[in-house]
Structure 1
């Protein structure tokens, strides 16, 4: 904003004096193109010049400039009146601003405006009298600084909460960062690992207290400094004098192809090493126990037939001679209908097919007398001349008692106590497994939600004991109708759910209709109060299918099936409704 005509400013006087300078118009053109707001006040605090950026930053109204340039007093009172200087008496605030300018002292400060804008204000006196002030919007910079401080605080909190000691040194081996955990892990006194300190001081402290073992301190220090200056990755374990074992891992920090520092983590693995030692001891004890127990030692040829057997008769009832020539999977297949989860021999079959060893795989076999035995099977391939396995050698140990006890606990934990069906936990585990298979093979998967109609009437009319009989009968009909690969579960109350792997919508609808008609056709007979009752039971069924192209979470698939059940209920009950396909994407 140029001064009024005829006004002589320090700048016009400067130009008129013949010294290097510029006139007011040239000066105004210059300041109008500056990125910051600029003001020039004369010796009497009159505003001589300012640019539009200054007016915009302070949101000054045009009315202040109608009669020319406002004075500092006018500006200060205007800004104070609208709260630019914060809470307080506007007259006192304006007076303080005016007095500060009258002192003609250089100043730099930040001021936050009511709208949140942060201005950096820099003022300097002029040699000819007067004052020049620049106003720079540093809001974005302040926000960036605040964000940087926040994230630095978060990072520091995260690193301090980690169980590892963490240090960062620069290319001059100066400590840049160390979290609070490092002093505890290294057994250092407070303040021994501070940013800015030389890393050599830590090395020397450790050497002097024997952390690196016996020997002269100076050679130990120099050797480790030389290694550190190479900035090479390293990973090793070190046992401290107090018996604690540290795992130390260092990674160099690269910037533009050069090493600029090193990050090192220190982990106290004392407990892990002790645990590993305990595991080794337990393994040795277990080996001795197995050697002293009933065991079956065997050998297979490349075709999977037994070529050697010792001790089979005490476990399987077959003599060693009877075992020769039989296939490895014969007894597993005969035992496939046992209560073991899934295919118990899959682990051993898969490992042999891949030519890999297997160890302590629990398998289920059918003995010669028809009873079931569970064995812990371990085997390893016999190397052939062509590099392929020429066969397998292994040993099976009887773990029937232990396995049956574990299975009993699993049944109690994974099955509904009233109906014996799978409970929610087991169902969700199986659902996750079937989803993984679906991803591999691309087959469809369906879900049925079955709700017993008017079950409350059964309980109210005949009592809860009859209600329990109804639930158990429905459970038996469901479980007896589906395939062995399907899974029926009770999710609570009178609601059942059926998982149908490798089943499309048409197959699910057919099975659902079959279940509905069978349940209706077989009334449940029970006794209550000494009298026999017959209860005709109907069910409402909701079905939903998902494909590999449109996978869904269990909750989403269940919600679709639940909505279908709801439609079946409101459509008159004793019917099957199929969920609509999920939306694309």
Structure 2
């Protein structure tokens, strides 16, 4: 008994679709528009997305259609704008040498940004791809705007700023850096090393004195992972504070700030304080001044001797109660219960009211003590 003949196998999906249909299916599944042209510039095959991104009417991408016809159709649809600019774009597209790779980016009338690339194909033809790069273009534009805003902000700061990468090479410098650092603008080229910039300063008149040159050389060996600062006087007399701070990526930022007025004010205050102290030290009275927080602000030498605490002079910043305890420890108030009572009495006095009393120290000297608000005088 013979077996019945086997039923014929069903044709595969590829055979049903056909090679051309399969190729079209693959092309239509792509996320880019694509069109293949032969050596004469006539369309061989294209996917559906190509007509939409190119701005062509549905059905325009027919086999055998010449690329020149398609370019003129795009122009008629307003894809290239109007007037002379549109005509110039059409002329460039028609004259393009398709034997060489090329690409351009343009904004369509609907606002989308399209990248159009032409690539040679074997046999003398070429492939044109259309990619919607709107999101990428908008991100780039946002980054450019952000960078421009950052540069504008930095250029309007009152500090000079130098940003270095982990390789100690310059990444960014604002406009004021040249003026405050003494570096010529031409020297502040991105990519130059910190060592090169310091060498430029050493070669100039910025560090004329041995002390300044030593400061510059020390800056070369500074540990940039730690914050540091120093102050220097430029040849024109301006005083600049130079500060280095690390950045998260292993680089560092150097800022230059002019502190001339601040430094001059501090120097004037120190001179005035020294003069005041000299005047106080030549008074024939001992005097000590306390602030509202009962801490010692100033005290002349005679006050230290007459109050009985010369070895602790000066006690600037000490609480009044601590000064009294220091006196008690030196035996100024005697010893025993009487001394303790005197300490308690002095501490309890209402210093908001004028006070006057006398005290005899262990050496037998009689001292008159007056205390207007905040002031103690011997």
The normalised TM-score by structure 1 is 0.43
Matched with 2:238 is 244
Which residue among 27, 34, 37 is the counterpart of 2:33? 37
Matched with 1:61 is 57
Q: Is the 8 A contact 1:358 1:379 kept in 2?
A: yes
Q: Deviations over 1:107-150 (max 9, x none)?
A: 11112211222211110121123210111112222222222222
1:273 Cα offset (Å): 0.8
Q: Is the 8 A contact 1:382 1:392 kept in 2?
A: no
Q: Is the 8 A contact 1:381 1:392 kept in 2?
A: no
Superposition pairs of residues 219-368 of structure 1, within 5 angstroms: 223-227=218-222, 230-240=224-234, 242-255=236-249, 259=250, 261-284=251-274, 348=292, 351=293, 357=295
Q: Deviations over 1:374-421 (max 9, x none)?
A: xxxx99432259xxx9849976479xxxxxxxxxxxxxxxxxxxxxxx
Matched with 1:140 is 135
> Taking structure 1 as reference, are residues 81 and 281 closer, same or farther at Cα in structure 2, changes over 3 Å only?
same
- Relative to its length, the structure with more strand (as a share) is 1
Matched with 2:145 is 150
Question: Which is bigger in relative contact order (C-alpha 8 A, separation at least 6)?
Answer: 2
Q: Is the 8 A contact 2:99 2:119 kept in 1?
A: yes
Q: Which runs of 5+ in 2 are unaligned?
A: 1-17, 299-316, 327-342, 352-370
> Taking structure 1 as reference, are residues 225 and 94 closer, same or farther at Cα in structure 2, changes over 3 Å only?
closer
The normalised TM-score by structure 2 is 0.64
1:38 Cα offset (Å): 0.9
User: Are residue 201 (structure 1) and residue 139 (structure 2) matched?
Assistant: no
User: Are residue 166 (structure 1) and residue 161 (structure 2) matched?
Assistant: yes
1:86 Cα offset (Å): 2.4
> Taking structure 1 as reference, are residues 381 and 63 closer, same or farther at Cα in structure 2, changes over 3 Å only?
same
SS of 1:85's partner is coil
Q: Is the 8 A contact 1:252 1:263 kept in 2?
A: yes
1:263 Cα offset (Å): 0.4
Q: Deviations over 1:236-291 (max 9, x none)?
A: 22344554332121111123xxx2x1101111212211111222334455667889
User: Are residue 214 (structure 1) and residue 153 (structure 2) matched?
Assistant: no
> Taking structure 1 as reference, are residues 222 and 53 closer, same or farther at Cα in structure 2, changes over 3 Å only?
farther
Q: Is the 8 A contact 1:73 1:94 kept in 2?
A: no
Matched with 2:321 is 382
Q: Is the 8 A contact 2:72 2:90 kept in 1?
A: yes
Counterpart CA distance in 2 for 1:397 and 1:285 is 24
SS of 1:27's partner is helix
Aligned residues: 296
